[in-house]
A and B are shown apart, each in its own frame.
Chain A
Amino acid sequence: MRLPGPRGPISTALFAWLSGEPGPVPSPLTDLLDALPQATADARSDEDVQISLWVCYGLTYEGFDGVDERWEWQPTLLAVRGALEAVFERDLLAEVQVPADLTPDKVPAFLMERCGATSPAAFLKFMQQEATIEQFKELVITRSIDALHEGDAHTWGIPRVNGRAKAALIEIQADEYGGGMPGRLHAELYAILMSELDLDPEYGVYIEQIPAAALVLHNLRSFFGLHRRWRGGILGNLAATEIGSSLINRHFSEGLARLGGSKKSRWFYDEHILADAVHEQLAAHDMCGAFVADYPAEWDRVVIGALATLSVRALFARSVVDPWAAGATSLRELAPV
């Protein structure tokens, strides 16, 4: 995968720096990062911040052609990533409030209630009943940056928790990875969906067209997954992803069937209808319920993780629905070659 094109001054400086040998942070980049807390109003939807974070995290997933592998653990790179993460975390937390009357024992029921109820119903109905095949393909493209790595960021949570929460997390993750059967991994089912829709399933191919509001879905998981202090957050993120997912995927599957999509193309969605009916129970009760009981000092991190996930998901839904309502594309326009 090649480095994507920059989307602002930070990514311009960052990507140029990454194309060379690992070394000290160039001073223009330091200045830009120093100014970033004032320069961005919401890092969650800032194209320059999100593409820069996606590349920083990408070093720990697949890396990039022509980028020295040693950058992954280069302290100067981690310092840059940390500066980006500081504003990202600030803006995530600004959107989230743990209810004052919530107590750890009520967390599983709270998650089921809140995460199940906040599916953007109008958006789902539109996908089910009205979306064109072009709009459906747009959605598949934008979600690909997250779905082709489904489960991976949550796997980083496994060594960071113990006991019942770990067992439940592994039970879910085993299913995400198709029970260990090649070809059944959920990420592979997504690749099949893309191929069936005549899209390219290679990771990162569509990166230039994918807006910050979709990158943030993946960056949020990577942020939680790569920081032990946010181990509760990665569990909350997984719970928010699983709860209500059966209904979401049924809408997508029925929408694709309406558009003539083959059974094979709908496999990804149909698999999630059944799998996530299991996962949502395991995630809320066995995983998060056990974590808040066994790690009482960190119980609110689970809730923050789930609520932050819902907030970026709402951001994503708006980034798709608003341009469509205006008769436009939800994808970023490609620069003329």
Chain B
Amino acid sequence: MSDDQPPVEITVYENGPVIVRGTYKLQNSERNDIDPGRETIALCRCGLSALKPFCDGNHALRGAARSAL
């Protein structure tokens, strides 16, 4: 990675996931790599995803409560 590489971009979406862009490495707590499957990824931050750590859109099922996210 060169010094002038732009930093990883982590964006928090209102009532939604965290979107990660750029050059990153995704790991579980044992430090084993997780294949992101695509360049830009969405990480769950509501805990409802069945495919964690990725977002699977399940936050939408939370209905009115989601405004708290």
Interface residues of A (CB under 8 A from B): 109, 112, 116, 171, 174-175, 179, 244-247, 250, 273-278, 280-282, 285
Q: Which residue of A lies closest to B38 (CB)?
A: A175
With the chains together, A304 CA to B41 CA distance in Å? Answer: 29
Q: Which residue of A lies closest to B18 (CB)?
A: A281
Pairwise interchain contact A244-B60, C-beta atoms closer than 8 A: yes
Pairwise interchain contact A280-B38, C-beta atoms closer than 8 A: no
Pairwise interchain contact B57-A280, C-beta atoms closer than 8 A: yes
The verdict on A246 contacting B13 (CB below 8 Å), with A175-B38, A275-B38 known, is no
**A246 to chain B: which residues have CB within 8 Å?**
55-58
**B42 to chain A: which residues have CB within 8 Å?**
274, 277-278, 281
Q: Which 6 residue pairs spanning A and B have beta carbons closest together?
A: A246-B57, A277-B55, A278-B42, A277-B57, A281-B13, A277-B42
Contacts A250-B57, A274-B55, A278-B38 aside, 12 further interface pairs with beta carbons under 8 A come to A175-B40, A245-B57, A247-B57, A247-B61, A250-B50, A250-B56, A274-B37, A277-B55, A280-B16, A280-B57, A285-B13, A285-B14
Pairwise interchain contact B39-A277, C-beta atoms closer than 8 A: no
Chain B interface residue count, CB cutoff 8 Å, equals 21
Return the CB mask of B13-39 against A: 1 if under 8 Å, else 0.
111110100000000000000000111
Interface residues of B (CB under 8 A from A): 13-17, 19, 37-42, 50-51, 54-58, 60-61
**A278 to chain B: which residues have CB within 8 Å?**
17, 19, 38, 40-42, 55
Pairwise interchain contact A179-B60, C-beta atoms closer than 8 A: no
**B13 to chain A: which residues have CB within 8 Å?**
281, 285
With the chains together, A165 CA to B61 CA distance in Å? Answer: 28
Pick the contact of A274: B15, B54, B60 (CB < 8 A).
Answer: B54
Name 9 interchain pairs, CB-CB below 8 A, sorted by A. Answer: A109-B14, A116-B60, A175-B38, A246-B55, A274-B42, A277-B17, A277-B42, A277-B57, A281-B16
With the chains together, A179 CA to B40 CA distance in Å? Answer: 10
Pick the contact of B40: A171, A250, A280 (CB < 8 A).
Answer: A171
**A285 to chain B: which residues have CB within 8 Å?**
13-14
